[in-house]
Each structure stands twice: as C-alpha cells, then as structure tokens.
C-alpha cells in the first residue's frame, strides 16, 4: 500500500527518485500512465494489468467505456526502476503533468502519483470538501 506525500527533484534526464518506502514495494517492471487530473500514475505491472482487466470486463458497446479504455492504454507505457530507485519519465508525460525541477510524489493506495507542484497546489485548492465528498460516497454505499 502506498501512502503519504513526498517531494523529489527531477534531474536533467527526466528521472524522478521514488521514496524508499515505495521502492521496497515495487518489483519488476512498472507502468506509467496519464491519470484523470493531470497527474501521472505509476503502477506495478501486475496491478495495472488488473486495472485493465476491469476495463476489459465493461460493456465495449458503450462509447464512454471505449474512451476510458483507450485513454488508459494509449497513454501508458512500461518503465523500469533503476538501481538508484528512479524512473525515467518520458518528456511528453512530464510536460503533461507539469514536472520540471520537482515532482510531488503521492501514495494512492495501489499506485503512486506524480504531480507537478503547481498542479498539485491547484488541485488541493479546488478539491471539494472532504467531509461532503465522504458523505456523498457513503450515500452510494461505497463506504
């Protein structure tokens, strides 16, 4: 499980070091994908495979399902964690997420998110009241 918020530098080659606590949970190849809110999502390959399986099980005849599936396959690629615990973020992905000299690294339960600092701040300033959001989700029977 990935938890917490960390700040790490982005080097001239576009590499971001993942927190040591996260690295111990990441083995083998990783998948980086563009997310919903201008963030990048980093999954262990098998976790991303499970996520894609859930999308594959949805009704392909619904246009929105095809669009979401297409988004999370066309905007994803396999990466490796180097011996120093870094991932090399491809330039188009880094630009899309607003990563320049620094990345905000967020634990998001089953995956890790990378945010540009300005986009993370804007997201936090514009996010809904968490108590209201939790109540709304509870009404749906989710929690």
DSSP H helix total and E strand total for the chain: 6, 8
* pLDDT value for 127: 85
pLDDT tens per residue across span 85-104: 999 999 999 999 999 999 99
- How far is residue 99 from each of residues 2, 43, 86, 118, 124, measured CA to CA in Å? 20, 18, 15, 9, 17
Residue 25 has pLDDT above 80, yes or no: yes
Domain extents for the chain?
A: 5-116
Is pTM, for the whole model, over 0.75? Answer: yes
- Which of 33-37, 114-118, 132-136 is predicted with the least confidence, judged by mean pLDDT? 132-136
CATH tag, 5-116: 3.40.1550.20
pLDDT tens per residue across span 40-83: 999 999 999 999 999 888 887 777 888 999 999 999 999 999 99
Q: How confident is the model at residue 4 (pLDDT cuts 50, 70, 90)?
A: very high
Closest-CA residue to 48 (of 77, 68, 90, 19)? 77
């Amino acid at each position: 499980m990935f938890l917490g918020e960390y700040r790490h530098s982005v080097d001239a080659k576009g590499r971001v070091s993942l927190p040591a606590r996260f690295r111990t949970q990441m083995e083998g190849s990783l998948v980086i994908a563009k997310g919903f809110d201008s963030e990048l999502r980093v999954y262990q390959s098998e976790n991303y495979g499970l996520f894609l399986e859930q999308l594959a099980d949805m009704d392909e005849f619904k246009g929105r399902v095809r669009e979401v599936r297409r988004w999370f396959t066309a905007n994803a690629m396999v990466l490796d964690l180097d011996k120093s615990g870094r991932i090399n973020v491809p330039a188009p992905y880094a630009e899309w997420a607003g990563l320049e000299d620094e990345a905000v690294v967020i634990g998001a339960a089953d995956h890790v998110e990378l945010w540009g600092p300005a986009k993370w701040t804007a997201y936090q300033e514009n996010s809904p009241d968490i108590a209201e959001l939790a109540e709304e989700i509870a009404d749906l029977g989710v929690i």
